[in-house]
Amino acid sequence: MAFAYSSFKAICCNTNKITQSRSRLFSKFGVGNYSKAYEGDGKTKVQILNKELDIGLMINSYNQYGFRLNNNMSIVGPMAIFSKSVLSWNVNEYRDINEDSLSLFGILEPKLDILVIGIGNEKVTPEISQRILNFIKNHKINIEILRTEQACTTFNFLNAESRMVAGAFIPPKHISVNEDDLFYRNRKTNLYDGQ
């Protein structure tokens, strides 16, 4: 037992020496009033500055003009989104999607696990799938072609799982309203009215 106590005492002495060294270092570089790391009533206090994990960019919302990301950035028009960056995508509509417009996704390193394509609110047809079949064959990238609403959700889910995912999205021309939208709109209205 005496050995454990003496080891503990030695560690405490080394901690005091480190604290004194830091104090001298901070005063040397002009940092005033350096306080010890622990002062208080015997309770440890922790302050968390960032409560969210660094999960990268997510799509919070979209409309007919573009997208809003989780970092409050608004993107006007079609976009190509990656886990940490976003670019404007030079297509006007789903008919413009071809091997050339997807070429950026084929040259990325490390290679993508999956590319999620949102084609507005058009239906996925064999014609659309056939246009990018050559791209799939040449670059061996998994591609998911969905309406933009489902594509945004899929991208967010895969990005949260830390997969190597990219998205290419065209804003929808029409926004459909569902029951959840109506419920939350009525709830907000009731809250503002004081009911």
pLDDT, position 54: 67
Distance CA 135, CA 100 (A): 9
Tokens of 107: 């040259």
Min mean pLDDT across 7-11, 91-95, 139-143 is at 7-11
Lookup result for tokens 């996925």: 124
Q: What are phi and psi of 40, to 5 degrees?
A: 155, -160
Contact present, 82 and 59 (Cβ < 8 Å): no
pLDDT at 20: 55
- Residue 28: which H helix or E strand, with range? helix 2-28
- 40 or 108: which leads in pLDDT: 108
Strands (E), the chain: 59-62, 66-69, 74-76, 79-81, 86-88, 114-119, 142-146, 165-170
Q: In terms of pLDDT, which residue wins out, 126 or 165?
A: 165
Give residue-wise pLDDT tens across range 7-44.
Answer: 333 434 444 444 555 555 455 544 445 455 555 566 55
Topology of domain 59-170, CATH: Hypothetical Protein Mth938; Chain: A, (3.40.1230)
The CA distance from 60 to 28, in Å, is 47
Tell me: the pLDDT tens digits for 175-188?
877 777 777 777 76
Domain range annotation of the chain: 1-46, 59-170
Comparison of pLDDT for 172 and 27, the residue scoring more: 172
